[in-house]
Amino acid sequence: MAAEYEHPYPSPELAAAHPFVPLDFEHRSSAEIAARAGAFADEMDRRRSVRMFTDTPVDKAVIAAAVRAASTAPSGAHKQPWTFVATQAPAVKRAIRNAAEEEERVNYLGNRMNDEWQHALAPLGTDHHKEFLEIAPWIVVLFEQRYELRPEGERGKNYYVKESCGIAAGIFVTAIHTMGLATLPHTPSPMAFLTRVLGRLDNERPFVMFPVGYPLDGVLVPDIKRKPLSDVLVVVDEPCA
């Protein structure tokens, strides 16, 4: 039985004023949906952050496809407030590594990270050495656009910037994994050096950095478990108030 809406979307007035097109959607059976859901969850459960990459080249078209996928993310008022900046240039990667290690050296050895934070990171064994930033064939940095730069030079407001960029980052990670590569969401704090090294605009701020490539053969990852579904999913059947 088709649902009936008292206030359908778009309204005739809205459809007359702005372009709309039919949704491109493939209806599947409940059984197929369940099978695809389980297969996708299992595939993503194999995803791990990698800190040891090979220097095996990755075609630029692959990186472009991952960014194109990430750019399908929903965003506030469809402003798409992000810029993905990619580099495979050795000199640029070296500059990024040097600057990142300097910041991380202060974080880990200069007490910028408190004891609780360092204790939480201890099982992962991370430190200020970031060789992977130079060895991985690509570094991709997602910049959030704090405001819009209009052609006439005026500023325009962007909406839900961090939420929008967070979703885009998640899709980027998913795309990289499903195409058969590895990455690591890396956020050396502070990250202002990325604006300088990559020559970005004043309206942009580094959000997250991704080294991308093939994992080193035999690479080890921490033996950690994800929270069970019962800890992260709550189904509410009745109003609570």
> What pLDDT shows up at residue 37?
98
Q: Record the tokens describing residue 191, joined without a space.
A: 């990250």
For residue 236, pLDDT over 70 is answered with: yes
Q: Comparing C-alpha atoms, which of 197, 94, 98 is closest to residue 141?
A: 197
The pLDDT tens digits for 165-175 are 999 999 999 99
Domains of the chain: 51-216 (3.40.109.10)
> What pLDDT shows up at residue 111?
81
> What pLDDT shows up at residue 1?
67
Helical spans, DSSP H, in 110-228:
115-121, 132-135, 161-178, 192-197
pTM for the full predicted model: 0.95
- Is the peptide bond between 222 and the residue preceding it cis, with omega within 30 degrees of 0? no
Compute the Cα dihedral for 38, 43, 46, 48 and give only its sign: negative
The pLDDT tens digits for 98-157 are 999 999 988 888 888 888 988 888 888 888 999 999 999 999 999 999 999 988 889 999
Residue pair 64/179 in contact (Cβ under 8 Å)? The answer is no
> What pLDDT shows up at residue 117?
87
In angstroms, the CA 188 to CA 185 distance is: 10
The pLDDT tens digits for 48-84 are 999 999 999 999 999 999 999 999 999 999 999 999 9
Q: What is the mean pLDDT of the chain?
A: 95
- Is the peptide bond between 190 and the residue preceding it cis, with omega within 30 degrees of 0? yes
